[in-house]
Amino acid sequence: MSILSGKAAGHDLFVYGSLQDPQVVNVLLNRVPDHSSAVLSGFHRFKIKNRLYPTILPDSTGKVTGKVLKGITDDERKLLDDFEDVEYDRKAVEVVLTDTSEKLQVGTYVWRNKDDPDLYAEWDFEEWKLHDREAFITATKKFMEERKLPEAKTRIDTFKTFFKQDDTEDGKPLDS
């Protein structure tokens, strides 16, 4: 919880990938919470083969830039947990706010498989915005539509269908 959010209740969450984008957050939460730029030390952000989103893993010399979303409700946190799906664990971490140097205890999503051979290179938010943002937003909208169905698909299944992700495809969106 953060006093900075102007609320005594709510959760603060460090995001470092697609959830830095206000449009993605708005699709998921139907609002854009207050947020601040922050740095998470002791982690590295990776690209993931055939995925449009990154992950982080502990790395004693690493630093990851991102944002802290402030005042996330319990229901919103549950939705974000569902969105991150089984690939991630939500962990408590300490970040430093860029503008004030204040340290905050927040949650963030860490990749479960620390030995994943599909992790490589540094993921870049600006590159993502140029090349993958629109397709990601469309797939996220599809995920939210799927959640309303009696037998809703997980985010992983929704994205695999949308991006034709399997061992032989190139991870590009299906033609509508």
- Looking at the annotation, which residues are catalytic? 84
* CA neighbours closer than 13 Å in the CB half-sphere of residue 44: 13
The CA distance from 139 to 13, in Å, is 22
Q: Which residues does residue 89 pair with via DSSP β-bridges, in sequence order?
A: 110
Q: How many C-beta neighbours within 10 Å does residue 19 have?
A: 23
The CA distance from 77 to 116, in Å, is 26
The answer to whether the CB of 93 falls within 8 A of the CB of 14 is: yes
The CA distance from 18 to 81, in Å, is 14
Separation in Å, CA 43 to CA 39, 47, 79, 131: 10, 13, 24, 25
